[in-house]
Structure 1
Amino acid sequence: MPENESLSLDGDRILRGQSAEVTFPPPSTVQRTAWGAIVLLAIMLFGGTLMRAVFGPLQDAAKIDLRISDVQMGIVQGLGTGGPIALLSVPIAWFIDHGNRKRLLVVLMLLCVGGTFWTSFVHSLPGLFMSRTIGSLGALAAISVVISMAADMSTRAHRGKVLLLLSLGVWAGLAAAVAVGGTLFDYFDHHADWLFGPTASWREAHIVVAFIGAVLVAPVLVIREPGRHEIETHSTSVTPALRALWAKKQFLAPLFVGQLGVVMAETAAGIWSAPVLIRDYHQTPGQFAGWVGGAILFSGILGSAIGAVSADRGQRSGKRGALLYGAVMASVVAIPVAFFPIMPTLTGFAILFTLVMLCGTIHDIVSSIAVTVMIPNEERGICMALFGIVRSIIGFSLAPLLVTWGSLALGGESHLAFSLAIVGAVTGVLSLAGYALCVRHAPIVEPARPSQA
């Protein structure tokens, strides 16, 4: 039976309440991987992530300057980041699957630059919320667009390596955000009137990063829209894609749960680790900029490599769930290392924090590869959008607030570190349970065939 006919019958069975057999995309028709274009996409992700994340190491300075509380900052960093993605995920996903992705990417990069620049001039909580919302929307939505474009620029056999390169762009951006943001903050703190006059150091740092980011994302203007491949149906309606994804629910639901736990842990650690370092370990942004940035970069490179290699080997083995083995092992390690915020020494904090980031990178790359390999082209955008909604509402929006609510329940903002540790450990257990079920219900994927470079 042809694969597209099988998929159609699966949708009919679902509507009648019957079980459906999961079908998978045919081998990619891409003959050669466009490495040059993919490198440019990785550079754009680096620039977008740099602009989105630079606020992290500077948020305590902004909190003092704007006279807001941890809970209010949690709302900015949580709802301000996750809310718009949740609301716009499905429209953006439909456009990714059926529209001109290059034009969408241009718009998103403009939002990212504009939001970062606007952050420099806000003087109220609503203004900060809006500027962070715009900048984060552009950077985060661009990731799904780039993954979709890269999938149509690469062969299935190279998909793991491509996702590895894109992941390195994101993680290098996170590392640079800490290193550049902290260094600029300390520099402007000691040279307050050198460049922009009597302006708060965190504001000056954002102005500089906005200009740097604009240069880094400029390649979006020269990249061409790739042709679409691995298409099973040509409908522009969302309904067929939702029906097809529903047929894969036993695999996708635990995958979403596993990745949700990771996102919650990563988000909480990424937002609140800098305040913990400042308050409990008495570090300045300039003092921890170098080693935290280095830890993020190291974990990003090593974790991306481990995740890509484990996923590729798992895919080639043809065993059920083998592609996800790396994510399961990372989940096991992530639980004990979540206690990095309450380590008695800065060295202990640094080691466990690096391991947290390492586990998160492995999860991210393995999950991305699983989606690009197991989900057909016309369903990928919707699949990423559905996860984006859950991730944004619960992961990005709720995780930062859980930490602040936990610290208040424990006695106040001085208990931020212990609350962060608890949230990280609990979400680690959630992630492990999700990935374990995902392996059990994962479909068997045809091993990738060697292709031209």
Structure 2
Amino acid sequence: MASIAAPVPSLGRVAWPLGVLALGMAAGFAAMGSFGTVQESAKAELLLSDRTLGLVQGVAAAVPLALFSVPVGIMVDRWNRVRLFLALAMLWTLGTLLTAYAPDAASLFVARMMTGTGATGALTAALSLAADLCQPAQRGRAMLVVTLGKTLGMAAGFGLVGTMFGGLGDGIFGLPAWRGVHVALAAILALCLLPLLTLREPARREVATQNALLGIVARELWTRRGFLAPLFLGQVSVVMADNSALIWAAPVLGRHYGLGPDQFAGWMGALIFGTGLGGAILGGLAADWGQRSGRRGGVLRGALIAAAIGAPAALFPVAGSVPLFAVAMGVLVLCGTVTGLITSVALTVLIPNEARGLCIGLFIAVAGVIGFGIAPSMVAWVSGMMGGEGHLAPALAIVGVVTGVIAVVAFALAIRNAPAAPVR
């Protein structure tokens, strides 16, 4: 069946819904990253080990991603995406509140699972919505807006949460500071739900088969396996390096550089937002430029370059000084943002609409299991193999560099096997 040819508004006319989606992503990823900034205080209160922190920070996000990302992707392809986005936003808000009152590691694990499920599931819906708000040639810039929201949220997870932690001192409402921060954050997230009520479901574009059966959709993805498999491997490897960095950066700064959350929160938040902003702009422009080049896999060439630059930047934990640490980590975050945005654009351009949600859901499931579930725990395991928790910094560097090299090779294969032409 022919693709839907609904009128395509200009980017200026869809600025509000794109902005609301960005705000939603900012809220979701602030909720998802909030615990990492204050995890050392939670570790001391609840008597947690690094391995347990790896489970809470990593596996707690990976398990629901593995279980729900594909179902969420299917729902995105078939259901009202705006209502789904709102439901997932309510889930991450509740998970943040429950984090504040978690009495032990098990309940903390469940609370972080809820938060991660809401944020990453909503990302699938946001990408699908953003793609249908504009024409293919503009999607790099549309995804840029959504990615900026995600980046702002990641920055707030460091900057806002760390600043609140320092300001609360001995705590609030009878709660320790790390718990009080999550109560306050949950209230902010609840307010962020209000603009989501203004969103409306856009018409779906580039639909090759109306109401396609799941088997047909799966076959469409299988025929593109030579392209999708290395693309997934490349971006999952980048996610492994980036998530490990974001999860373990605060403990490294505390243990190896002697800094508390209130001492690094401001500049870390600014660093993540600034490099994320630059990465989103570069990624969006590179994706649109790559499409205009007309070359096979051109949309992904910027991702290959970014992965090659990001691999050595993963040495930031052993930089030797705080300024060098900041510069190298900033390069890593910038390159990770570039590859993530370009990968998202490639999926919306080279995969038919009826399969996009499932495809993105599969990607998030794989990235979640490996990038969240395995990578942080792998850092703790490597650290243990090297002699204990005192070796966290070199262990983080080793995992980052190895996964970065894998990403470079995988993106090169994805470019070689990319479909000859985008979906129309």
TM range (shorter): over 0.9
- 1:105 counterpart residue number: 85
The answer on whether the counterparts of 2:230 and 2:410 sit within 8 Å (CA) in structure 1 is yes
Pairing partner for 2:73 from 80, 93, 96: 93
Q: 2:173 is matched with which residue? A: 196
Q: Is 1:327 aligned to 2:303, yes or no?
A: yes
Please report how far the alpha carbon of residue 27 of structure 1 lies from its aligned counterpart in structure 2 after TM superposition.
Answer: 8.6
Task: For 1:39-438, list aligned pairs within 5 A.
Answer: 39-189=19-169, 192=170, 195-197=172-174, 199-438=175-414
Distance 1:153 1:120 in 2: 37
Of structures 1 and 2, the larger Rg is shown by 1
Encode CA deviations 1:349-408: one digit per residue, 9 max, x unaligned.
Answer: 011010010110011111011011111110001111221221122111000110000000
CA distance in 1, matches of 2:7, 2:124: 20
Contact 1:43–1:169 (CA<8 Å) still a contact in 2?
Answer: yes
How far the C-alpha of 1:26 sits from its partner, in A, is: 5.6
Give the residue type in structure 2 aligned to 1:182: G
CA contact (8 A) 1:30 1:153 kept: no
Runs of 5+ unmatched residues, structure 1: 5-24, 449-453
**Structure 2, unaligned stretches of length 5 or more?**
none
8 Å contact from structure 2 (residues 233, 410) kept in 1: yes
Alpha-carbon distance, 1:442 to partner: 1.4
> How much does 1:236 deviate?
4.5
Deviation per CA, 1:151-201, whole angstroms, max 9, x where unpaired? 111122221110000000000111111011111111112xx36x413x211
Q: For residue 320 of structure 1, give the secondary structure of its aligned residue in structure 2.
A: coil
Instruction: Check whether the contact 1:184–1:205 (CA below 8 A) recurs between aligned residues.
Output: yes
Distance (whole Å) between structure 2 residues aligned to residue 132 and residue 447 of structure 1:
37
Distance of 2:244 and 2:30 partners within structure 1: 18
Q: Please state whether the residue corresponding to 2:407 is helix, strand or coil.
A: helix
Distance 1:447 1:142 in 2: 24
Distance 2:266 2:144 in 1: 24
Partner of 1:14: none
Counterpart for residue 31 of structure 1: 8
Equivalents in 2 of 1:338, 1:427: separation in Å? 9
Determine if contact 1:318/1:444 at 8 Å carries over to the other structure: no
The whole-number CA distance in structure 2 between the counterparts of 1:271 and 1:151 is: 30
- Aligned twin of 1:10: none
For the 8 Å contact 1:98–1:236, the answer to whether it is kept is: no
What amino acid is the match of 2:254?
I
Contact 2:4 2:205 in 1 (8 A): no
What residue identity is the alignment partner of 1:386? L
Q: Does the CA-based 8 Å contact 1:324-1:366 persist in structure 2?
A: yes
Deviation at 1:447, TM superposition (A): 10
Q: Supply the RMSD in Å over aligned alpha carbons.
A: 1.5
Query: Are the structure 2 counterparts of residues 394 and 28 from structure 1 closer, same or farther at C-alpha, using a change threshold of 3 Å?
Result: farther
TM-score (norm 1): 0.90
Tell me the secondary structure at the aligned position of residue 59 of structure 2: helix
Work out whether residues 317 and 447 of structure 1, in 8 Å CA contact, stay in contact via their aligned partners in 2: no
Q: Moved runs in structure 1, 4+ residues, more than 4 A?
A: 25-28
Contact 2:352 2:423 (8 Å CA) reproduced: no
Alignment deviations for residues 46-93 of structure 1 (CA, whole Å, 9 cap, x no partner): 111111111111111111111110001101111100110111122111
Q: Distance in 1 between matches of 2:334 and 2:236?
A: 16
Aligned length: 421
| Conserved? CA contact 2:351–2:423, under 8 Å | no
Bigger fraction of residues in helix: 2
CA contact (8 A) 2:206 2:423 kept: no
